[in-house]
Structure 1
Amino acid sequence: MSTATSSAISVMRHHRSIRKFTEQALTDDQRSAILASAQAAPSSSFLQASTVIRISSAELREQVMALCGNQAYVGSAAEFWVFCADFHRHLQWVPEAKTGFAEQLLIGAIDTALMGQNALTAAESLGLGGVFIGAVRNQPHALSDLLQLPKGVIPLFGLCMGHPAQDPEPKPRLPANLVLCENHYPAKFDEAHMQAYDEQVRHYYRTRTGGKKEMSWTGQIGDTLAKEARPFMLEFLQQQGFCIR
């Protein structure tokens, strides 16, 4: 394995979500490198259906943070970028383009997610840290008004980036034999492997919180999927011109 390949794999395998940052700013060169890396991500049919909005105004950042559940790191990170699926730009130059199809939502979401992951991996390779913010979808109507997003654009997630002021352990992932299937989907996943993973996650939370949190992975799933999340989302997507056919 080459040194370059080993280094890239090491960066990805040691990802941690960073929520505490120093006050040190990113340089222009760092921002440019991160954006260039994000844009190098694959794009379905070369549509490049994504737009990134960098929130550089302190006042606007405060307003965005409020819409994201007042998560402090949205305000304290050196950089906060909002990643959007975007078909408005296509219509600007090709007004006769047919949009609004469900498949285009998938294209925009996948393209944008790939960009976001490239951006975070690039940041981490520079010694920076970050965390994705799904809470930009908590109040999408208000956020879209605040960022002046036209029809054909939807905010998918935010990304905090900066110099880490903490060093958390990586969160344990599902074992490979519960993720990688050979040739077909299994009739049932292995119960013993799942139980072992549940205990691994319990130990992680127990250690991370000093015994204040006892939660297995399946327990967390039960809590998260006990009710519909963001029930207003379909209406918002359709208002923005997505999933209307």
Structure 2
Amino acid sequence: MNDMITTILNHRSIRQFEDTPLTEEQIKTIVLSAQAASTSSYIQAYSIIGVKDREKKKRLAELAGNQEYVEKNGHFFVFCADLYRHTIIGKEEQKDVIPSIEGTEKFMVGLIDASLAAQNAAIAAESLGLGICYIGGIRNNLEEVKRLLKTPERVIPLFGLAVGYPAKMNDQKPRLPLEHVYHEDEYEQDMGVYLEQLQEYDQIISTYYEQRTGGKRRDRWTEQMALMLEKQNRMYMKEFIQQNKLDLR
């Protein structure tokens, strides 16, 4: 096993960072690593906004549900799906690109490109001895986030990435069993096997929480997921996407 795989397998989310800003060289390295990710048809349908301004970080922390580590970290990156530049390209090249840009396929390309870039950035940061935490909470109020970051039409902030020197290392949460995630040749639909795998994972997670909290929690993963999905969250998203002209068909 090489050092890179060890770094990947050692991942855990960090929620307490030292008060040490990243250097310009570290930021550049992380962004260049993000840009090295694969991109569909070379379209590069994403942008990254680095947030240094303390007041903006504080406001983003509030919008994300008062998550302190959005404000207090070494650097905060916001990954955006971005088809704005492609509308400019269309105008400059005198081509009608709008029907394509407003289709669901290109919207998906923006999401996928941004996610691939972000994961490269995360691995690069962790390989430098830094910690990271993805922040989906910025989608709680995207209108305010867009106003704060001054993003133009056809640019959607998707998630943040808090990066910095870990002040505290959290436990690594066990993932689903490999056999439940990895299917060969066809999707496993034997319900007996499927439920057995979930039940085994529930036991692992329940034990994890029990040990971590000294017996105060014994949550099952399926219990967590059902309770979370029962609550309708960020249901404004489809309308917001359509208003920003990224997915009209």
Normalization by structure 1: what TM-score?
Answer: 0.95
Q: Tell me the alpha carbon deviations over residues 144-196 of structure 1, each in whole angstroms, 9 at most, x when there is no partner.
A: 11111111000100000000011222110011110111111122352332212
Q: Distance in 2 between matches of 1:188 and 1:162?
A: 44
Q: Cα distance, 1:199 vs. partner?
A: 0.9
1:124-143 pair list within 5 angstroms? 124-143=126-145
Matched, 1:219 2:215: no
Aligned to 1:201: 205
Q: Cα distance, 1:204 vs. partner?
A: 1.6
* One-letter amino acid of the counterpart of residue 83, structure 2: F
Q: Distance in 1 between matches of 2:28 and 2:214?
A: 39
Contact kept, 8 Å, 2:34 with 2:120, in 1: the verdict is yes
* One-letter amino acid of the counterpart of residue 140, structure 1: L
Aligned to 1:35: 31
Matched, 1:97 2:97: yes
Aligned length: 241
Q: Tell me the alpha carbon deviations over residues 57-92 of structure 1, each in whole angstroms, 9 at most, x when there is no partner.
A: 111111111111110000111111110000001112
Matched, 1:236 2:236: no
Contact kept, 8 Å, 2:20 with 2:73, in 1: the verdict is no
Paired-residue identity, %: 41
* One-letter amino acid of the counterpart of residue 240, structure 1: N
Contact kept, 8 Å, 2:33 with 2:121, in 1: the verdict is yes
Looking at secondary structure, tell me which structure has more helix per residue.
Answer: 2
Q: Cα distance, 1:210 vs. partner?
A: 3.0
Aligned to 1:123: 125
Contact kept, 8 Å, 2:107 with 2:246, in 1: the verdict is yes
Aligned to 2:44: 48
Which of residues 37, 40, 60 in structure 1 aligns to 2:56?
60
Aligned to 1:14: 10
Matched, 1:149 2:144: no
Secondary structure of 1:138 counterpart: helix
Q: Which range is displaced more, 45-54 or 21-30?
A: 21-30
* One-letter amino acid of the counterpart of residue 166, structure 2: P
Q: Distance in 2 between matches of 1:111 and 1:208?
A: 36
Q: Which range is displaced more, 202-211 or 109-118?
A: 202-211
Q: Distance in 2 between matches of 1:66 and 1:215?
A: 28
Q: Cα distance, 1:207 vs. partner?
A: 2.3
* One-letter amino acid of the counterpart of residue 220, structure 2: S
* One-letter amino acid of the counterpart of residue 40, structure 1: A
Q: Which range is displaced more, 93-102 or 113-122?
A: 93-102
Q: Tell me the alpha carbon deviations over residues 15-73 of structure 1, each in whole angstroms, 9 at most, x when there is no partner.
A: 00000011122112111111111000000010000000111111111111111111000
Q: Which range is displaced more, 184-193 or 106-115?
A: 184-193
Unmatched 5+ stretches in structure 1: none
Q: Distance in 2 between matches of 1:236 and 1:207?
A: 42
Secondary structure of 1:151 counterpart: coil
Normalization by structure 2: what TM-score?
Answer: 0.93
Question: Aligned-residue CA RMSD in angstroms?
Answer: 1.2
Secondary structure of 1:94 counterpart: helix
Aligned to 2:170: 168
* One-letter amino acid of the counterpart of residue 225, structure 2: I
Matched, 1:85 2:81: yes
Q: Distance in 1 between matches of 2:21 and 2:231?
A: 40
